[in-house]
A and B are shown apart, each in its own frame.
Chain A
Amino acid sequence: MAQPARLSVMSSATDTRHHSSKRASIVDRNLNKTKATEVGLSAFAFLFSEMLQYAQKRVHGIQDLERKQIPFFRLNDFGYRVGTRLLELIVWREKNSKRETRVIGILSFINTTVWKTLFGKQADSLEKSTENDDEYMISDNDPLITKFISVPKELSQLNCNAFLAGIVEAILDGAQFPSRVTAHSNPIDGFPLRATILIKLDREILQREEQLR
C-alpha cells in the first residue's frame, strides 16, 4: 500500500492492463519516482479482502463477545505496519521536508501529503472536535479502501477503515505525536459511505503544545 491506489473505476471484468516485460518491475524502480507507480484498485481490493478474511479466520476460539472486536484491532495493526514505513518514505521523498513539531502541522501533513500519496487526492475535511480539545477528525467522503465492501449487519461494529486509522496512528506515533486513532462511518447527505478518522491526542502533547506557544 505504499503505492497509491489511484485507479478509481477499473473493474476486474474490464481490466485490460498489460504487463510488458520492458518496464522494470515495481520493486526495481527508483523509490523516488512517484509517476506511474499507481497500483490497480482491483488488485488492492482483492488483497485487502484476503487480509480481512485472514484476520477473521484467526479469531476463532476467542469468546463470542470479543470476536466482533478482534478483527477491528487487527486491521488497525495491519495499518500500523504500513504507516511506519509510509512516513519514512514520504519524508524521504519530500524535497524540503522539515520536521513537524506542532499538532496542526502534522495533521495537515496527513490531511494533504499522506492522503495524496495513498489515494491521489486530499482528504475532504480536517476538523477540531467541538466537545474535546484533544480530538481531531479527518473525513473522507468516498473512502477508497472500503469502496467495494459491504459489512453484514451482524458485524455492524466493524469498520474496515480501521486499516486507515492504523496508518494514521503509526504516522502520528512516528512523528512523536502518540495518540489513539479510530475509524467511524459518518454518512452525510450525498455521501453515504463517508468515513471519519478520529484522532485522540495524548495528554502530554497538549502540554507540549502549551510550552511551544
Chain B
Amino acid sequence: MIFSLYIINKAGGLIYQKNFSEGLKKLTANEYLVLAGTFHSVHAITSKISPVRNVTSSGLEVLEADTFKLYCYQTLTGTKFLIIADSNHPNIDLVLRRTYDVYSDFVMKNPFYTPEMPIRSELFDMNLAKLIKQVGG
C-alpha cells in the first residue's frame, strides 16, 4: 500500500505532493512545505556525517516507523522523490524508479513546465495514478 508521494526540488522546496489512499491525516499546505524543507535539511546532514572516510554518503534513504516507511530516492540532479508506504511493500525501489520515469516524461518534456517550480501537469497526474494503481496503491 502506497500512501503518498512528495517531490522536493534541489533547493528543498516541495514541488509536488499527492496522497493515494483514503483516511490519511490532512495537513495544511504550509505543513507540507515545512515537512519537505525539514526532510531536505536532515537529508543534507545525514549525507555529511558518514563515519566511513573518503566515501560520500547517499544520505537518508529509508525511515522506518511503526505505521509507515518513508523511502527517498535522490536523482543525480538533486531532485528527491519521497514515497510513504506501509512497511511491507515488496518493491519500492522499482516504484521510485518508475515514478522518476513518469516525471522525466511528463514533467520535464512538457514545454509549459518551468524547472524547480510546482508541478501542474494533467498528463503527469494521469500517468502517476496509472502507475500507482499498477503497483498496488
Which residues of A does B touch, CB under 8 Å?
Answer: 11-14, 42, 45-46, 48-50, 52-53, 56, 148-152, 155, 160
Whether B136 sits at the interface, judged by CB under 8 Å, is no
Binary A-proximity of B82-116 (CB < 8 A = 1, otherwise 0): 00000000000000010011001110111110000
**Size band of the interface chain B makes with A:** 10 to 19
Instruction: Assess whether A149 is in contact with B111, with CB atoms less than 8 Å apart.
Output: yes
Q: Is the interface of B mostly helix, strand, loop or mixed?
A: helix
- Tell me which residues across on chain A come within 8 A of B111, comparing CB atoms: 48-50, 52-53, 56, 149, 160
B16 to chain A, nearest CB (A): 13
Instruction: Assess whether B112 is in contact with A45, with CB atoms less than 8 Å apart.
Output: no
- Tell me which residues across on chain B come within 8 A of A11, comparing CB atoms: 101, 104-105
Closest chain B residue to A12, Cβ basis: B104
Whether B123 sits at the interface, judged by CB under 8 Å, is yes
Closest chain B residue to A53, Cβ basis: B111
Instruction: Assess whether A150 is in contact with B104, with CB atoms less than 8 Å apart.
Output: no
Given A13-B100, A13-B104, A148–B112 Cβ distance below 8 Å?
no
A79 to chain B, nearest CB (A): 15
Closest chain A residue to B105, Cβ basis: A11
A189 to B38, CA, bound (A): 44
B94 to chain A, nearest CB (A): 12
- Tell me which residues across on chain B come within 8 A of A148, comparing CB atoms: 105-106, 109-110, 123
Instruction: Assess whether B124 is in contact with A45, with CB atoms less than 8 Å apart.
Output: no
Closest chain A residue to B123, Cβ basis: A150
Instruction: Assess whether B121 is in contact with A150, with CB atoms less than 8 Å apart.
Output: yes
Instruction: Assess whether A150 is in contact with B106, with CB atoms less than 8 Å apart.
Output: yes
Which residues of chain B (4-40) have a CB below 8 Å from chain A? none
Instruction: Assess whether B110 is in contact with A14, with CB atoms less than 8 Å apart.
Output: no
Instruction: Assess whether A152 is in contact with B104, with CB atoms less than 8 Å apart.
Output: no
**Contact among A14, A56, A149 for B101, CB-based, below 8 A:** A14
Which residues of chain B (106-135) have a CB below 8 Å from chain A? 106, 108-112, 120-124
- Tell me which residues across on chain A come within 8 A of B100, comparing CB atoms: 13
Instruction: Assess whether A150 is in contact with B101, with CB atoms less than 8 Å apart.
Output: no
Instruction: Assess whether B124 is in contact with A49, with CB atoms less than 8 Å apart.
Output: no
B105 to chain A, nearest CB (A): 5
Instruction: Assess whether A12 is in contact with B108, with CB atoms less than 8 Å apart.
Output: yes
- Tell me which residues across on chain A come within 8 A of B123, comparing CB atoms: 148-150
**Contact among A12, A13, A150 for B124, CB-based, below 8 A:** A150
14 other A-B residue contacts (CB within 8 Å) besides A12-B104, A148-B123: A11-B101, A42-B109, A52-B111, A52-B112, A148-B106, A149-B109, A149-B123, A150-B106, A150-B110, A150-B112, A150-B123, A150-B124, A152-B112, A152-B120
Q: Jot down 20 A-B pairs with beta carbons below 8 A, ordered by A.
A: A11-B104, A12-B104, A12-B108, A13-B100, A13-B104, A14-B101, A49-B109, A49-B111, A56-B111, A148-B110, A148-B123, A149-B109, A149-B123, A150-B110, A150-B120, A150-B121, A150-B122, A150-B124, A152-B112, A160-B111
- Tell me which residues across on chain B come within 8 A of A52, comparing CB atoms: 111-112
A14 to B120, CA, bound (A): 23
A72 to B112, CA, bound (A): 14
Closest chain A residue to B106, Cβ basis: A148
A124 to chain B, nearest CB (A): 20
A133 to B2, CA, bound (A): 54
Instruction: Assess whether B108 is in contact with A149, with CB atoms less than 8 Å apart.
Output: no
